[in-house]
Homo-oligomer: A and B are copies of this chain.
Amino acid sequence: MTPTVKAILDKYESDNPGVKGNLARILMQGRLGGTGKMVILPVDQGFEHGPGRSFAINEPAYDPHYHYQLAIDAGLNAYAAPLGALEAGAGTFAGQIPTILKINSSNSWATRKDQAVTGGVDDALRLGCSAIGFTIYPGSEEAMDMIEEVRELSAEAKSVGIATVIWAYPRGGDLSKEGELGLDVTAYGAHMAALLGAHIIKVKLPSAHIEQPDAKKAYEGDWNAQADRVRHVVKACFNGRRLVVFSGGAAKSADSVYQDARDIRDGGGNGSIIGRNAFQRPRADALEMLDRLVRIYKGEE
């Protein structure tokens, strides 16, 4: 165990050794093991967008084993997916990479800004997962219900040594479309996740937009540099006492993915959680991209 990881774990001072052990497993895994940085592969887009939109572009990705193997071969820190996808590979890949059971999901036909709970802590235990993952939609009319759901599931998870990852994705309610990525909104959502007891917080990279009139004063100044915005979000997560990873959103050019990673790194973020930009590329391209991301987080690029 490296001093860097040890220092991170020490910040989870109220958690039992089981939770710390699972955080350690994620932080010590793969090529970034020990650096305090992470690249995580999440594959729940089949639930969110359907299989065709998610996998037709790279047909082997229809197979759940493909993603396990990609995450392992790329030397990533963890693989996150909904129940059925983990069940389809958890036996074969037992012990090879930490897994995060994504226990709620939305879908393209959702008529409200909500997600359905699709898994439980018992599932996480029997599948050998290191963490549960749960999405909240700060701003949504359903936000309070989602918060109460994650409270119960997270409390149960903590009692059995399983870590909690919260996806904080503001949307719905009075939020404007632009506001969903606003800096103040993103920081707010991340802070809510921290207050809910998340061990790892996942947000989208924020824009320089400030959504809330009441917050404008607090956000005076220049937020054009993405690394500064990352730094602000990290600060909003208990001044760096909680791990924060950033998602890349829709597939885009490799160069912008790399630039994002450099900004996350330079802003003190803990890494990338990168789905479509990985599995929607041909495997060789994905491995090359993930290799460069790893090197960026290692400070080699």
Q: Which residues of A contact B (CB under 8 A)?
A: 1, 9, 11-25, 27-28, 44, 46-47, 49-53, 56-57, 59, 62-64, 82-96, 105, 107-112, 114-120, 122-123, 125-129, 138-141, 143-145, 147-148, 151-152, 155, 159-161, 170, 173-175, 184, 187-188, 190-198, 212, 214-215, 218-219, 232, 235-236, 238-239, 241-242
Min CB distance A21 to B, Å, is: 3
Could you list 20 examples of A-B contacts with CB < 8 Å? Answer: A17-B91, A20-B94, A23-B94, A27-B95, A52-B219, A56-B218, A64-B241, A82-B196, A83-B196, A84-B197, A88-B194, A107-B143, A107-B192, A112-B144, A118-B151, A119-B151, A120-B155, A125-B160, A128-B161, A160-B160
Are A15 and B51 in touch, CB under 8 angstroms?
no
Question: How many monomers of this protein are in the complex?
Answer: 5
Complex CA–CA separation, A17 to B123 (angstroms) = 10
Are A1 and B175 in touch, CB under 8 angstroms?
no
| Closest residue on chain B to residue A103 by CB atoms | B151
| Closest residue on chain B to residue A214 by CB atoms | B53
B residues less than 8 Å from A114 (CB atoms): 144
| Closest residue on chain B to residue A72 by CB atoms | B1
Complex CA–CA separation, A87 to B19 (angstroms) = 13
B residues less than 8 Å from A160 (CB atoms): 122, 125-126, 160
